[in-house]
Amino acid sequence: MIKSTELSKKYGDVTVLNIPSLEIPKGQSFGLVGNNGAGKTTYFNLLLDLIKPTTGKVLNNEIQVNKSEDWKPFTAAFIDESFLIGYLTPEEYFYFIGELRGMNKADIDTFLSQFKEIFNDEIIGKKKYLRDLSKGNQKKAGIVAALIGNPEVVILDEPFANLDPTTQIRLKKLLKDLTVKNKTTLLVSSHDLGHVTEVCERIVVLDKGVIVKDLETSEETLKELETYFSV
């Protein structure tokens, strides 16, 4: 589904990302881990054509992302708070995204009803603008918005950060269901090794922009990752 070849990004002399080849098949749940500055967000930004690659290209479903905009209809992402429109209420934001993805208000209302538990009565119908919600609730709204319209590719940067424990557990279940039921290609990054091994069937470790490990998740994966990072 997503294929990057000879992909690299340099700022001045500093190479922040250098991936000769990486292919993520359709329906895979793909986890990206690495310390600060490893290049996780850079990679996601490149997938979304938010920054220009220095060399190489990214193909999303055979569409080169910086050549055509046709990957947008089936791709959704939540990278950070700048994906939220602060002066809208969460409902208005969902309706807006829904409209861009061809869903009307009623569709969105039905869609949102399945997230009642995650929202925990703190998001819908609160007469608050997104900019005034707490960080955790902003994150919930952003993640849910990224799932609107059953996109084939979902990219989430650090989805578990800032969430309360209950929501973390619910989100893990939700993300697992997503790849199993809908055949969604899911890309997440995380600093929490436990979460990412639980959700993802494949885990790639980045260090200073280079892939150092590419693992099929198994019983031993968490141990292996912990050993790697505890150095």
Partner 1 sequence: MIKHFLNFEWKQFFRSSYWQKSIALNILMGFLALYFMLTFLVLGISIYPILKKQFPESDPLIMVNGFLFYWFLGDLVMRFFMQKLPVLNIKPLLILPLKRSSILNYVLGKSAISFFNFLPLFAIIPFGVILIFEDYNTTTSLIWMLLMYIFTLIINFLNFIIEAKSAETELSFLPIIAIASGLFALNHFEIISISTALGNAVNAIISNPILIIIPILVLVGLYAMNYAELKKKLYVDGSLKAKADVATTTDLAWTRRFGDIAPFLQLDLKLLWRNKRPRSSLFIVVIGLFYGLAFYPNPTFQNLTPMIVFVGIFVTGIFMINFGQFIPAWDSGYYKLLMSQNIKYKQYLNSKYSLMTISAVLMFVLSIPYVYFGWKILAIHFAAMVYNIGINSHVLLYGGSFNRKKIDLTQRAAFNYQGTGAVQWIIGFPLLLIPILFFYIPYKFINFEAGVITLIVLGGIGIVFHQKIMNFITKQYLNSKHKMISAFDQNN
Instruction: Compare residues 31 and 149 and give the one whose CB is closer to partner 1.
Output: 149
Q: If binding is defined by CB under 8 A, does position 75 make contact with partner 1? A: yes
Q: If binding is defined by CB under 8 A, does position 79 make contact with partner 1? A: yes
Nearest 5°: phi and psi at 141?
Answer: -60, -45
Among 5, 54, 99, 222, the residue binding partner 1 under the rule CB under 8 A is 99
Binding mask 199-218 for partner 1 (x = CB under 8 A): --------------------
Tell me the three state secondary structure of residue 174.
helix
Q: If binding is defined by CB under 8 A, does position 69 make contact with partner 1? A: yes
Q: What is Dmax (Cα atoms) for the chain? A: 52
Tokens (6 digits) for 231:
């150095």
Instruction: Compare residues 157 and 167 and give the one whose CB is closer to partner 1.
Output: 157
* Under 8 Å between Cβ of 194 and 222: yes
**208: left (phi > 0), else alpha (psi -120 to 50), else beta?**
left
Euclidean distance between CA atoms 96 and 141, whole angstroms: 13
Instruction: Compare residues 12 and 165 and give the one whose CB is closer to partner 1.
Output: 12
Q: Restricting to residues 137-156, which ones interact with partner 1 according to CB under 8 A?
A: 149
Euclidean distance between CA atoms 111 and 118, whole angstroms: 13
Residue linked to tokens 């990004």: 9
Among 32, 33, 48, 178, the residue binding partner 1 under the rule CB under 8 A is 48
Q: If binding is defined by CB under 8 A, does position 128 make contact with partner 1? A: yes
Nearest 5°: phi and psi at 160?
Answer: -90, -15
Q: If binding is defined by CB under 8 A, does position 36 make contact with partner 1? A: no
Q: If binding is defined by CB under 8 A, does position 37 make contact with partner 1? A: no
* Under 8 Å between Cβ of 72 and 150: no
Residues found near partner 1 in the complex (CB under 8 A): 48-52, 69, 72-73, 75-77, 79-80, 82-89, 91-92, 96-97, 99-101, 126-129, 131-132, 149
